[in-house]
Structure 1
Amino acid sequence: MRSFTTFFLFCLSTSITFFSKPSTSVSNTLTTSQFLSINQTLFSPKGIFQLTFFSYNNFSWYLGIRYNIDHDKTVVWVANRNTPLQNPTAFLKLTNTGNLIIINESNKTIWSSNQTNQNSTLNTNPILQLLDSGNLVVTTEPNENDPTNFLWQSFDYPTDTLLPGMKLGWNFDTNTETHINSWKQTDQDPSIGDISFKMDYHGVPEIFLWNKNRRVYRSGPWNGKRFSGVPEMQPVTDSIQFSFVENEHEVYYSFSIGKESLFSRLSVNSLGELQRLTWINSRNIWTKFWYAPKDQCDNYKECGPFGVCDTNASPVCNCIKGFRPKNHQAWNLRDGSDGCLRNNELDCESDKFLHMVNVKLPETSSVFVNRSMSLVECGDLCKRNCSCTGYANIEIVDGGIGCVMWLDELIDIRIYPAGGQDLFVRLAASDVGDDGVGGSSDHKIARAIGIMVGGATIIFLVLGTCYLWRKKKLQCLLKGKREKRGSLERSQDLLMTEGVYTSNREQTSEKNMDDLELPFFDFNTITMATNNFSEENKLGQGGFGIVYKGRLIEGQEIAVKRLSKNSGQGVDEFKNEVRLIVKLQHRNLVRLLGCSFQMDEKMLVYEYMENRSLDAILFG
């Protein structure tokens, strides 16, 4: 009797049309009166995807959804990934209750979509349909695209691939999670492997790449535009758009495609790599658009607690300013996993905060979160809470939104040349003025003045002597009253040809820095011009700071003298120095173009001279 039933099912299934070529005119649905056998294929309306049985060795058979656009027929979803068929005599059947089942040669159900909670009155005449999105859905209406009307959909059960429109995250109403798992063996065994990509919704949600029970990579929290740990995750107009939704009902990450001709997918493979792949139609290949982990600093906890990872440094691990390696021996052997310890104990009342920029925020699984606070309010709250070790904005849009505070160790921080976030780390007051290692706003170990200071000092002494000698002679030119500022400027231009400025000019300039008519440069402008004060742009350093070469957006080359923060010089002293330099402007001197005193930074911007500084010529 069982043999007769099997034969009957086989004969019935062969009545289904076998679609050998994709076509928009071919039906893409399966009803309860039909079967799909191993030698048959169901196509999406435009022929982008196909639902079919496949095998790599003719011994294990699987039902899966594959791309129909590429020669390899890349698989993006597998139904029976852990229960393969051992015989090609099998069928896919849609029951009257909307349940999908795979029946083997023994008429035994080896896989089911488990639709047991559906109302039978709603499941009258259910239809199985493969959409052009790659979503296999059970609905009561053909060509239905409204997910709220689906009785079941494959998008709720991803395997190793996230397609456009799929959600990766949590549904709190049903307490269900959607994530992706690698195959056991790439291109061979689609059963569940060791690598998974899952969202942790605690604190500020992040997505982790797991190898079994071990975290190996962290995306960083969503900052309103992208994940903090993926600065290259920039939306492309009419191309790939990323979205992140978090509310009381659900939290998930998804992406969409703006062009019908573009195909992209996110997947994890058995080698432990997360990949975004994009289809290149002209070459008929999938290209790796992005992947992780891509470098040493992508490894989770690479530099341990309070450590900072920087791929541009050697070694890549440094301690945050005010900290030292916990295990010096391991640190010297390039193992920073033990992290760092504070140089000095915190005092709470007198503690200060180190401003770090362009960083991947520390892990946020167990943090304090307030989405209505400003950054200033967040800093005040952190200051009052002696357990707070750092704080930051949750999102970077609209000037910064929300407050996230860390109450424990800061783990898995890394620095980017650009595109990260601002982080404020609690330090003992005595550590803020020290020359710390790594993680400060300029990402450098030392801050001292450039070689220009030596040459400028010699010039100032020579011209100062000249100024005193000629002061008496010049007084006769300055006795008359100057009724207009224009006449003052013309008189000073005359004096500048003699090599000095008058004391009257000094009295005028002391009233207001604006009277100097000296351009004020924004800190971000200088940062961009010097490529974030990179080592490649370093011209030299002296006893008080470093000089960097830069290029403004307009193309003009500049030399930036960045004064040391621990030089003891305040803003007033800095202004006085600028006034002195302005008074000593001369055609034979390097021209001062402007200055900046912002974010505890004091900088002088000079014109760039190709033939190095004066002391190099004088002293070889």
Structure 2
Amino acid sequence: MGTIRNHHFCSFFLFFAFLAIFPTISFSIDTLTATQSIINNQTLVSPGDVFEFGFFTLENPGEWYVGIWYKNIPVRTYVWIANRDKPLANSSGIFKLEDRNIVLLDQGQNLVWSSNITKGDNPLAQLLDSGNLVLREANINDETNHYLWQSFDYPTDTLLPDMKLGWDLNAGFNRFLTAWRTKGDPSSGDFSFKLDYHGFPEIFLWNKQRREYRSGPWNGLRFSGVPEMKPLDYISFNFVTNQDEVYYSFSITNKNLFSRLIVTPTGTLQRLTWIPDTEQWNPFWYAPKDQCDNYRECGQYGICDSNASPVCKCPKGFSPKNQQAWNLRDGSGGCIRKTDLDCTKDKFLHLPNMKLPEGTSSFVDKNMTLKDCAALCSRNCSCTAYSNSDIRNGGKGCVIWIGDLIDMRQYTDGGGQDLFVRLAASDLGDGGNTTALIIGITVSAGVLLLGLIAYVVWKRKAMQNKGKIGKKGPHERSQDFLLNEVVISSKKEFSAESQPDELELPLFDFDTIATATDNFSDEKKLGQGGFGCVYMGRLVEGQEIAVKRLSKNSGQGTEEFKNEVRLIARLQHRNLVRLLGCCIEMDEKMLVYEYMEHRSLDSVLFNKARSSLLNWQRRFNIICGTARGLLYLHQDSRFRIIHRDLKASNILLDGEMNPKISDFGMARIFGGDQTEANTKRVVGTYGYMSPEYAMDGLFSAKSDVFSFGVLVLEVVSGKKNRGFYHSNSELNLLGHAWRLWKEGKGMDLIDSAVGDSYNAQEVLRCIQVGLLCVQERAEDRPSMSTVVLMLNSETATMPQPKTPGFCLGRRSTLETDSSNSKQDESCTVNQVTVTMLDAR
């Protein structure tokens, strides 16, 4: 027995002596089971000896990592590191399977890194010849990539062949590259390469939170901003976009060729190939490579051309926004239009060989022809440009840009693609005969002058007839004072504009309004809200009006009154209610609007006796019209306006059931570059407020989008969204719609009052748009420009919605179905007092 023990002791001694002599011993296996582990000087090797996995250290001997490198390339090249941001203090770590996960433990058996999954019965880890470390079931070994976990989903700085760069939309995570901190420090650096799947997907190079470079969108063959990206015999490029995922990858057909895409610590993208003869990595492509690759080098509407000097130029119909900076070869200020657009008369400028503008907020329909795309863009006054989404086989598909065109570039030698930019018709012509132009201007000026004189004479006579000329009494002085306040505050608020217009708002005297409304009789009362009462009236000349009279006990006051006058007097859109004038005498403050025959949407939609008036076509028109009005507020008006209280009671219906957005007392104006704001006074209505606004007081255009989404689901279903859970945990309308959508029963949501005459695909499209608008995260919600295009396109591919934003709380037992009831409710969420003002 003693001899046997001595024999075993000698065997163990010889084994450890062998390890000391040959420290780089490998298992020569590609898998790791639950009974095995890896320590320093032990490695996994892929079946074809392509890649190797194990422990290593770099410049700092006090920092140890586990990762993957090429096995047979003499220049040690790392392609993936598990613990890049949490190195081991020494080489005494252990890598193994534990509780269905692969884990890295330090010398004290503390967890340093884990695959962090909760599935699998009998998993094992395997290193593949692709360089992918996977965790799979031991009894399943197929080529379907049904892995429990894989390193390809968590890249470091390297994209390998068949590795996906982009989004898994079902799982909700993004695969992107992040550079090393320095050449000898693999921790996460400042530069990253990320795909943005919104709109027309493309990839951006980021320096922390600043964009440095843009690939341009995928045009079927290559990225629009990478003309060198041409298919070769040994390499192919792939781009996939559908409801489940959006990603870019590349494949190598020659298995003896090694190629990789990396982000360097200095912020350069490089595609490298291994040249055996020279035993070095050869740069095959890199970016940014010139001045025009810098993001927004020539600002909005500017075009960069690296073959020109200076590189920035303005397209036809545009001129430099800052001529002095432009002369100094700084084109970052971009270009501005020479002539304002006129939607019905605009034309399109053909720009060939272009890197398409940034497409994250654009609209894409893969099934439209270029002719249909041009027609759609022409009809939509917000459309600034269009192009094919796919250039293969002569071109197909449609992409439409809404708003400014950013980061354009022009190529030569067939690079880029055709872009059609909206221009005023006069900017596309040769300018016409100069003499005729001078005569035309002179005649027009004369006509305008005569018209102005006639208007002044008429205005003076009209004021004399109403006793407005001469000595002013106290009522007139109070009117002048308050209106002067409105004009002064308006000038302050719009100081960024060159010359804000004076408010040309007609004044009504109190007696005129009292006569029109039968002295504000109850028979003329249309409703009551947070502002006060609304009355129907008829002026002496026969025009019907609606009068909103500020209540002395109202929670709103002069500021809200001034705010509404200041905003709506400047807004002109067919889907916004028209303000005819105001009355300010002593304590009286009244707004006079055009009269809406069918009153507010909620008085019809939620009234069983009247809801049958809203067939599906009318409901769809109400949804689309409201969307167009909201788009005008957010983007197309002179000022970016956030309504903050969009709801059914603030949508008025005219005689033909056309919707008009009303009540701008709570609206706010955003500056040109402002995207969100914060308020301590959160005002709105239960069921319509976005989570970020109700909880944190943050409001933006996406807050209005959320309210619009609620409104859409209400119009489809004919039911109110309560906004809070019932005491018995029953879902509100958003939760109910979400559940039906997930179960494939979306059509069960439609209001029975609609009847049988409806377009099922149109209904489902509206439900999907509504659910996209009420998603919990503001950044996931579409912009109103995208919403308008989705509603008007029968073939648009839309993303699947994510979970809606839900609020917890109690619904007031005082709530009724009457649209005319007053309902003031308050709640406190996260120490923010929320005052709810319902049924205006």
TM-score (norm. length: structure 2): 0.48
Match of 1:94 among 97, 100, 104: 97
CA distance in 2, matches of 1:46, 1:422: 46
Matches within 5 A, 1:261-272: 261-272=256-267
Cα deviation, 1:72-97, whole Å, max 9, x if unaligned, reads: 210000000111000111110112x4
| Alpha-carbon distance in structure 1 between the residues aligned to 2:18 and 2:295 | 51
Match of 1:166 in 2: 163
Kindly report which structure 2 residues correspond to 1:190-589, keeping only aligned pairs within 5 A, or say none: 190-237=186-233, 239-417=234-412, 418-434=414-430
CA–CA distance in 2 between the matches of 1:393 and 1:423? 8
**Shift, 1:209, TM fit:** 0.5
Question: Across the two proteins, how many residue pairs are aligned to each other?
Answer: 415
In 2, Cα distance between equivalents of 1:310 and 1:343: 21
- Alignment deviations for residues 323-363 of structure 1 (CA, whole Å, 9 cap, x no partner): 00000111111111110011111122221111111100000
CA distance in 1, matches of 2:351, 2:306: 16
> Aligned equivalents of 2:89 and 2:26: distance in 1?
28
SS of equivalent to 1:155: helix
Q: Specify whether residues 16 and 137 from structure 1 end up closer, same or farther in structure 2 by C-alpha distance, changes over 3 A only.
A: farther
Q: Of residues 72, 83, 88 in structure 2, which corresponds to 1:85?
A: 88
Deviation at 1:58, TM superposition (A): 1.4
Structure 1 pair 21/358, CA: closer, same or farther in 2 (3 Å)? Answer: farther
CA contact (8 A) 2:75 2:280 kept: no
| 8 Å contact from structure 2 (residues 25, 43) kept in 1 | no
1:30 maps to 32
- Measure the CA separation in 1 of the matches of 2:111 and 2:342: 67
The residue identity in structure 2 corresponding to 1:44 is S
Give the Cα–Cα distance (whole angstroms) in 2 for the partners of residues 409 and 109 of structure 1: 50
Q: Which amino acid aligns with 2:150?
A: Q
1:149 Cα deviation from its structure 2 partner: 2.8
**Are the aligned partners of 1:229 and 1:361 in contact in 2 as well (CA < 8 Å)?**
yes
SS state of the match for residue 243, structure 1?
strand
Instruction: Give the partner amino acid of 1:185.
Output: T
Q: What is the CA distance between 1:47 and its match in structure 2?
A: 1.4
Alpha-carbon separation, structure 2, partners of 1:393 and 1:15: 68
Alpha-carbon shift at residue 22 of structure 1 (Å) = 8.1
| Separation of aligned partners in 2, 1:175 and 1:15 | 50
Counterpart in the other structure of 1:498:
none
Match of 2:761 in 1: none
* Residue number in structure 1 paired with 2:182: 185
**Equivalent residue letter for 1:380:** A
Q: Does the 8 Å contact 2:237/2:251 carry over to 1?
A: yes
Contact 2:63 2:90 in 1 (8 A): yes
Instruction: Name the counterpart of 1:604.
Output: none
| Residue pair 2:25, 2:41 contacting (<8 A) in 1 also | no
- Answer whether contact 2:67 2:80 (CA < 8 A) is retained: yes
Contact 1:127–1:142 (CA under 8 A) maintained in structure 2:
no
Q: 1:31 to 1:19 in 2, by over 3 A?
A: farther
Per-residue deviation, residues 543-575 of structure 1 (Å, max 9, x unmatched)? xxxxxxxxxxxxxxxxxxxxxxxxxxxxxxxxx
Amino acid at match of 2:263: V
What is the root-mean-square deviation in Å for CA atoms of aligned residues?
A: 2.3
In structure 1, give the amino acid aligned to 2:335: C
Question: Where does residue 734 of structure 2 map in the other structure?
Answer: none
Structure 2 residue ranges without an equivalent (≥5): 1-11, 432-840
Q: For 1:72 and 1:142, how far apart are their aligned partners in 2?
A: 37
1:290: Cα distance to partner?
A: 0.4
Please give the alpha-carbon distance, in whole angstroms, between the structure 1 residues aligned to 2:112 and 2:296: 42
Distance 1:90 1:406 in 2: 53
User: What's the secondary structure of 1:300's corresponding residue?
Assistant: coil
Aligned partners of 1:14 and 1:37 also within 8 Å: no
For residue 107 of structure 1, report the CA deviation from its aligned partner.
1.4
8 Å CA contact 2:26–2:44 kept in 1: the answer is no
- In the alignment, the residues of structure 1 paired with residue 319 and residue 37 of structure 2 have an alpha-carbon distance, to the nearest angstrom, of 68
State whether residues 159 and 182 of structure 1, in contact with CA within 8 Å, keep that contact through their aligned partners in structure 2.
yes
Larger relative contact order (Cα-Cα within 8 Å, sequence gap ≥ 6): 1
Check conservation: 1:16, 1:34, Cα contact below 8 A. no
Determine if contact 1:129/1:143 at 8 Å carries over to the other structure. no
State the one-letter code of the partner of 2:126. Answer: Q
CA distance in 2, matches of 1:112, 1:27: 22
Task: For 1:16 and 1:347, locate their aligned partners in 2 and report how far apart those are by CA, in whole Å.
Answer: 85
- CA deviation vs aligned residue, 1:393-431 (integer Å, no higher than 9, x gap): 111112211111112011000011022110001111121
Higher helix share: 2
Determine if contact 2:303/2:314 at 8 Å carries over to the other structure.
yes
Q: Using the alignment, how far apart are the partners of 1:323 and 1:114 within structure 2?
A: 55
TM-score (norm: length of structure 1): 0.64
Q: CA 1:320 to 1:15, structure 2 compared with 1: closer, same or farther past 3 Å?
A: farther
The amino acid that maps onto 1:118 is: K
Code of the aligned partner of 1:355? H
Gaps of 5+ in 1: 1-9, 436-620
Deviation at 1:16, TM superposition (A): 13
Report if aligned partners of 2:195, 2:202 keep a CA contact under 8 Å in 1. yes
Give the aligned residue type for 1:204: F
- Work out the CA distance in 2 between the residues paired with 1:149 and 1:253: 20
Q: Secondary structure at 1:137's aligned position in 2? A: strand
Identity %: 56
Hey, what's the Cα distance between the residues in 2 that align with 1:375 and 1:163? 36
User: Are the aligned partners of 1:19 and 1:43 in contact in 2 as well (CA < 8 Å)?
Assistant: no
Secondary structure in 1 matching 2:375: helix
Q: What does residue 41 of structure 2 align with?
A: 39
Q: What is the identity, as a one-letter code, of the residue corresponding to 1:181?
A: T
What is the rounded CA distance, in whole Å, between the counterparts of 2:400 and 2:137 in structure 1? Answer: 49
